[in-house]
Structure 1
Amino acid sequence: MDNWESIIPFLIIIPIAIWTKQVLPGLTLGLLVASYIVEPSLLGGIEKMTSYLIGSLAKEPKLQVIGFLYIFTGIVNMISMTGGIKGFIEITSKKIKTKKQAIFLIWITLLGTFISPNLRIVTIAPIMKELQEKLNITKERVCFVIEASSLPVIALIPIATAFIGYMTSTIEMSLGGSENSPYSYFLKSIPFNFLSLSVIALAVIYSIFGHPKLFNGNKDINESKVNLEKLPKNTDTQKNSETQKEPKPINLFIPLASALGLSIFLSWWDGYQKTSDILKAFIAADVSRYMLIAIIITLFITFIQFLIEKYPLKKLVKAFFEGGNKLMPAFFLFALVWGLSLATKDLGLSQFITSTLGTIPSLWIPPITFVLGSVLAYFIGSSWGSWGLLMPIGVSLAESSDISLALMIGIIFACGTLGGLTSPLSGTTVTISKIMDLEIMAYSKYKIKHTLIPFILSVALYVASSFIF
Structure 2
Amino acid sequence: MDTASWLSLLPFLIVIPVSILTKQVQPGLFVALLLGSYLVDPSLLGGIQQFISYIVDNTVKSSNIRIIIFLYGFAGLINLIKMAGGIKGFVDLVSHKVKTKKSALGLTWLTTIGTFSDPDFRIVTITPIMKALRKRLNMSKRRIGIVIEVTSNPIVALVPIATAFVGYMVQVINSSLQNAGINQGAYVTYVKSIPFNFFSFVIVLVGIYYTFFVHPKGEKDHQFEGTAPDDVQSSKASSEGAPEKQSKPDHTVEHAEESAVNPSDLHQVPSSNNVSQINQKKYNEEYARHPEAADNHIQADKLDHSNDQQQQENEQKSHDENDDTPPSRPWNLLLPLGIMLILTLFLSWWDGHFKAQSFLQSFIKVDALGVMLEALLIAIIFAVILVMFQKFKVSKIVTHFIEGGNQLMSVIVLLALIWGLSAASEDLGFSDYVTAHVQGWIPTMLIPPVIFVLGALISYFIGSSWGTWGLLMPLGVMLGHQADANILLVIGAVFASGTFGAFASPLSDNTVTLCTILDLPVVDYAKSKLVPALIAAGITAVLFTGAAFIL
TM-score normalised by structure 1 residue count: 0.74
What is the Cα deviation at residue 36 of structure 1?
Answer: 1.8
Matched AA of 1:152: V
What is the Cα deviation at residue 387 of structure 1?
Answer: 3.9
Larger radius of gyration: 2
Which whole-Å CA distance do the structure 1 matches of 2:543 and 2:77 have between them?
40
The match for 2:56 is 54
Which whole-Å CA distance do the structure 2 matches of 1:292 and 1:184 have between them?
28
> Is the 2:431–2:472 Cα contact (8 Å) retained in structure 1?
no
What is the Cα deviation at residue 119 of structure 1?
Answer: 5.8
The match for 1:385 is 463
The match for 2:151 is 153
Could you tell me which of 3, 6, 9 is aligned with 2:8? 6
The match for 1:462 is 544
Corresponding pairs, count: 433
What is the percentage of aligned positions where both structures have the same residue? 33
Counting only pairs closer than 5 Å after superposition, residues 183-202 of structure 1 correspond to structure 2 as 191-202=195-206
Going from structure 1 to structure 2, the CA distance change for 1:251 and 1:386 (only over 3 Å counts) comes to: same
Which whole-Å CA distance do the structure 2 matches of 1:260 and 1:179 have between them?
34
> Is the 2:451–2:493 Cα contact (8 Å) retained in structure 1?
no
The match for 2:497 is 411
Cα shift readout 1:163-203 (whole Å, capped 9, x = no counterpart)? x76x78997998997899x9999988765553443333354
The match for 2:398 is 317
Which whole-Å CA distance do the structure 1 matches of 2:456 and 2:67 have between them?
26
Which deviates more from structure 2 when the two are superposed, residues 289-298 or residues 169-178? Answer: 169-178
What is the Cα deviation at residue 78 of structure 1?
Answer: 0.7
> Is the 1:374–1:416 Cα contact (8 Å) retained in structure 2?
no
TM-score normalised by structure 2 residue count: 0.65
Which whole-Å CA distance do the structure 2 matches of 1:279 and 1:205 have between them?
34
The match for 1:328 is 409
Matched AA of 1:327: L
> Is the 1:74–1:323 Cα contact (8 Å) retained in structure 2?
yes
The match for 1:273 is 354
What is the Cα deviation at residue 96 of structure 1?
Answer: 4.8
The match for 2:331 is 250
Secondary structure (helix, strand or coil) at the match of 1:246 reads coil
Going from structure 1 to structure 2, the CA distance change for 1:329 and 1:65 (only over 3 Å counts) comes to: same
Which deviates more from structure 2 when the two are superposed, residues 314-323 or residues 102-111? Answer: 102-111
Which whole-Å CA distance do the structure 2 matches of 1:28 and 1:171 have between them?
28
Which whole-Å CA distance do the structure 2 matches of 1:432 and 1:284 have between them?
35
Counting only pairs closer than 5 Å after superposition, residues 78-227 of structure 1 correspond to structure 2 as 78-96=80-98, 101=103, 104-105=106-107, 107-108=109-110, 115-117=121-123, 120-128=126-134, 130-131=136-137, 144=143, 146-155=144-153, 156-157=155-156, 191-204=195-208, 210-211=213-214, 222=220, 226=223
The match for 1:264 is 345
What is the Cα deviation at residue 305 of structure 1?
Answer: 1.1
Secondary structure (helix, strand or coil) at the match of 1:412 reads helix
The match for 1:342 is 423
Counting only pairs closer than 5 Å after superposition, residues 353-368 of structure 1 correspond to structure 2 as 353-358=434-439, 359-361=441-443, 363-368=445-450
What is the Cα deviation at residue 76 of structure 1?
Answer: 0.9
Secondary structure (helix, strand or coil) at the match of 2:360 reads coil
Matched AA of 1:461: L
Secondary structure (helix, strand or coil) at the match of 1:247 reads coil
What is the Cα deviation at residue 75 of structure 1?
Answer: 0.5
Going from structure 1 to structure 2, the CA distance change for 1:376 and 1:34 (only over 3 Å counts) comes to: closer
Which whole-Å CA distance do the structure 2 matches of 1:225 and 1:413 have between them?
24
Matched, 1:64 2:63: no
The match for 2:260 is none
Counting only pairs closer than 5 Å after superposition, residues 428-443 of structure 1 correspond to structure 2 as none
Segments of structure 2 that go 5 or more residues without pairing to the other structure are 179-185, 232-320, 481-486
Going from structure 1 to structure 2, the CA distance change for 1:389 and 1:86 (only over 3 Å counts) comes to: same
Matched, 1:289 2:370: yes
